């Protein structure tokens, strides 16, 4: 059959800048036991097949362990033991004996085992994810379909998937994944954010992505949002030339963020854990403007203890001695579910008990985190500030600020990502030390458009004049009570939009570290009055497209030649 996509340029949305080329590796979707599976008639024969499936999984894991580093080896060997566990095969045998089909018996046996592990707690509860992983691999063997998840990468690869969960993206091997392409996802979905943080070029909403044959060479342009299938050598070379041009333009970009006329704008990093902190700490940045603490615990089955958290936070703060680190307390819920902070299914999780609302239901979880942050802050020399996600009212902000201070942390702030809080920023910030605009959620809630829905990406565009009006209202409110307002949503990393935000009064911009040099250059080319003019142009436009065009036309040519 002819390849349906060969030799074409596939278009999507660029969500993480940069270019790369490499062979396609497809991520297989999750495997489910079919509802209409035939019943088991010969339980003994079925058990032999099921045991063979688990043994194949064990052998595969053993092979991987032999090639892995020390830590991964230990984890993989522990997982091999699960695949060969006799009690697990006995649990499955019981279901086969009652006539349950092979795949459904595997599923039922694994889930029974998972419930037992969870009841035992501690180490066992933490193995539930591994157990389910072994179970779904065995299920794939039984059904004769590819194993789910990201296959083992043997060299530089372009990872292609329908979508990736934030937990999958967070565990990608940065040394091998050169680019990410998905058919779903949106510009502010957490997978996109993680890719940018990891400095991996990414394009989402590429309709034909999952039809790309494994091994096909593709060139990914994370700036233009394009994927070129089987690119010519000339095209790959042209991408390198573009990279070199950008690198040359940015070579002089160094030091603190400042406009051409000397107005300081702190340039900060968004990070999601220790590895990000170590990388960002070594870069020319003024600190961290958003540490998404929930990213650290995406795969944890049980709540991390105070000591475990304090150790992680120490490692995150250590590279930033003398610099600011703005920590966001757990923003669990919606697309970032945490197993240990789950209040059950909700009809509309993005509008439900997520962020600070969830902390209010589980205050001991918040207190443990604040205590751990205070310990780590004392043990390191970082200027630690703590803020809450999803704050909607002044009462919520006051409640949070009090708890932060009671735990011995001096600076409390809130994210402004709910339009209600933005419009009332003056009151919401009255008892806080700072605000930080979460433009990703602010766009989602202002435009009533789910940020996970790539198809709604035009509505989620932060250039939407309504979103900019809400941001402006928040900046004015903060200014009235003399509180600094930063931006830590993706809008802060867009060099043209960064100028608009500074023109509105924003005093810090936090973004994926890879985006900092271009934003720094943009600031250095424009004065504060010029930024204010750009802000007026953007907010007086009728549409997002008009606003962007007006700003592009008025910004300095040295910048627009690069973006």
Give yes or no for residue 186 binding ligand PEP (CB under 6 A): no
Q: Which is nearer to Mg ion, 314 or 336 (CB)?
A: 336
Q: Give the span between the Cα atoms of 46 and 59, in whole angstroms.
A: 20
Span of 77-85, 202-210, 400-408, 434-442 interacting with ligand PEP by CB under 6 A: 434-442
Give yes or no for residue 187 binding ligand PEP (CB under 6 A): no
Catalytic residues: 190, 488
Q: How far is the CA of 74 from the CAs of 78, 113, 167, 274, in angstroms?
A: 6, 22, 20, 21
Q: Give the span between the Cα atoms of 40 and 13, in whole angstroms.
A: 47
Q: Give the span between the Cα atoms of 502 and 259, in whole angstroms.
A: 9
Which of helix, strand or coil describes residue 75?
Answer: helix
Q: Is the dihedral of CA 119, 166, 310, 403 positive or negative?
A: negative
Q: Which is nearer to ligand PEP, 193 or 519 (CB)?
A: 193
Would you give the binding string for ligand PEP spanning residues 265-304, x where CB under 6 A is met? -------------------------x-x------------
Which residue carries 């984890």 as its tokens?
Answer: 75
Give yes or no for residue 441 binding Mg ion (CB under 5 A): yes
CB under 5 to 8 A by kind: which of ligand PEP, Mg ion, none does 292 bind?
A: ligand PEP
Q: Give the span between the Cα atoms of 379 and 313, in whole angstroms.
A: 10
Q: Which is nearer to ligand PEP, 104 or 439 (CB)?
A: 439
Among 417, 450, 461, 494, binds ligand PEP (CB under 6 A): 417
Give yes or no for residue 450 binding Mg ion (CB under 5 A): no
Would you give the binding string for ligand PEP spanning residues 105-124, x where CB under 6 A is met? --------------------
Q: Which is nearer to ligand PEP, 12 or 489 (CB)?
A: 489
Span of 118-126, 256-264, 433-441, 456-464 interacting with ligand PEP by CB under 6 A: 433-441
Q: Which is nearer to ligand PEP, 209 or 474 (CB)?
A: 474
Would you give the binding string for ligand PEP spanning residues 327-366, x where CB under 6 A is met? ----x-----------------------------------
CB under 5 to 8 A by kind: which of ligand PEP, Mg ion, none does 166 bind?
A: none
Among 21, 167, 368, 439, binds ligand PEP (CB under 6 A): 439
Give yes or no for residue 417 binding Mg ion (CB under 5 A): yes
Which of helix, strand or coil describes residue 326?
Answer: strand
Q: Give the span between the Cα atoms of 514 and 517, in whole angstroms.
A: 7
Q: Which is nearer to Mg ion, 418 or 535 (CB)?
A: 418
Q: Is the dihedral of CA 413, 420, 519, 281 positive or negative?
A: positive
Shortest distance in whole angstroms from residue 189 CB to Mg ion: 12
Do residues 418 and 393 lie in contact, with contact meaning Cβ atoms separated by under 8 Å?
Answer: no
Q: Give the span between the Cα atoms of 68 and 62, in whole angstroms.
A: 10
Site size with Mg ion, rule: CB under 5 A: 3
DSSP 250-312: HTT--SS-B-TT--B-EEEEEE-SHHHHHHHHTSS-SEEEEEEGGGGGTT-SSPPPHHHHHHH
CB under 5 to 8 A by kind: which of ligand PEP, Mg ion, none does 493 bind?
A: none
Q: What is the DSSP letter of 149?
A: B
Give yes or no for residue 490 binding Mg ion (CB under 5 A): no
Q: Which is nearer to ligand PEP, 125 or 280 (CB)?
A: 280
What number of CA atoms fall less than 13 Å from residue 538's CA on the CB side? 31
Would you give the binding string for ligand PEP spanning residues 485-514, x where CB under 6 A is met? ---xx-------------------------
Shortest distance in whole angstroms from residue 368 CB to Mg ion: 22
Residues 164-183 that bind Mg ion (CB under 5 A): none
Among 26, 440, 457, 524, binds ligand PEP (CB under 6 A): 440
Task: Enumerate the β-bridge partners of residue 383.
Answer: 324
Q: What is the DSSP letter of 510?
A: E
9-11 and 19-26 beta bridge pairing:
unpaired
Which of helix, strand or coil describes residue 333?
Answer: strand
Kindly list the residues in this chain that would bind ligand PEP in the complex (CB under 6 A). 193, 290, 292, 331, 417, 438-441, 488-489
């Amino acid at each position: 059959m002819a390849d349906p996509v060969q030799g074409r340029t596939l278009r999507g949305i660029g969500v993480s800048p940069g270019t790369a080329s490499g062979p396609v590796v497809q991520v297989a979707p999750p495997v489910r036991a079919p509802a209409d599976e035939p019943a088991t008639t010969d339980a003994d024969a079925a058990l032999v097949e099921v045991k063979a499936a688990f043994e194949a999984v064990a052998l595969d894991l053993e092979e991987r362990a032999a090639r892995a580093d020390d830590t991964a080896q230990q984890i993989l060997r522990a997982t091999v033991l699960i695949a060969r566990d006799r009690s697990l095969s006995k649990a499955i045998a019981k279901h086969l004996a009652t006539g349950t089909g092979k795949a459904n018996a595997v599923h039922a046996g694994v889930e029974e085992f998972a419930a037992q592990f969870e009841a035992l707690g501690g180490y066992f509860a933490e193995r539930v994810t591994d157990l389910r992983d072994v179970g779904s691999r065995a299920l794939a063997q039984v059904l004769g379909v590819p194993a789910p998840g990201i296959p083992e990468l043997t060299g530089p690869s372009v990872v292609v998937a329908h979508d990736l969960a934030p937990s999958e993206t967070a565990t990608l091997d940065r040394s091998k994944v050169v680019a990410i392409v998905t058919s779903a996802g949106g510009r502010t979905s957490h997978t996109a954010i993680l890719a940018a943080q990891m400095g991996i070029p990414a394009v989402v909403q590429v309709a034909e992505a999952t039809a790309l044959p494994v091994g096909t060479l593709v060139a990914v342009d994370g700036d233009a949002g394009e994927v070129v299938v089987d690119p010519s050598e000339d095209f790959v070379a042209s991408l390198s030339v573009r990279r070199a041009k950008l690198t040359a333009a940015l070579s002089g970009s160094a030091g603190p963020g400042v406009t051409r006329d000397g107005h300081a704008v702190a340039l900060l990093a968004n990070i999601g854990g220790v590895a990000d902190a170590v990388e960002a700490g070594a870069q020319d940045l003024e600190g961290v403007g958003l540490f998404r603490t929930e990213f650290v615990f995406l795969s944890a089955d049980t709540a991390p203890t105070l000591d475990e958290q304090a150790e992680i936070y120490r490692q995150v703060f250590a590279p930033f001695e003398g610099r600011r680190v703005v920590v966001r307390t757990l923003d669990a819920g919606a697309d970032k579910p945490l197993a240990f902070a789950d209040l059950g299914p909700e009809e509309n999780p993005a509008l439900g008990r997520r962020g600070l609302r969830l902390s209010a239901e589980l205050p001991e979880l918040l207190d443990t985190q604040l205590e751990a942050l205070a310990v780590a802050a004392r043990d390191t020399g970082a200027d630690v500030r703590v803020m809450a996600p999803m704050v909607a009212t002044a009462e919520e902000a006051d409640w949070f600020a009090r708890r932060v201070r009671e735990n011995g942390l001096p600076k409390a702030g809130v994210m402004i990502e709910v339009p209600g809080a933005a419009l009332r920023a003056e009151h919401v910030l009255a008892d806080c030390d700072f605000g930080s605009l979460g433009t990703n959620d602010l766009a989602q809630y202002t435009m009533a458009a789910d940020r996970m829905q790539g198809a709604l990406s035009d509505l989620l565009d932060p250039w939407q004049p309504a979103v900019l009006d809400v941001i402006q209202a928040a900046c004015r409110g903060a200014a009235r009570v003399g509180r600094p307002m930063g931006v830590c949503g993706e809008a802060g990393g867009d060099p043209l939009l960064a100028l608009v935000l500074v023109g509105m009064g924003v005093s810090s911009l936090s973004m994926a570290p890879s985006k900092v040099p271009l934003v720094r250059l943009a600031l250095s080319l424009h004065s504060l009055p010029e930024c204010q003019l750009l802000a007026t142009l953007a907010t007086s436009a009728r549409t997002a497209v008009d606003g962007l065009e007006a700003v592009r036309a008025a910004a300095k040519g040295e910048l627009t030649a690069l973006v």
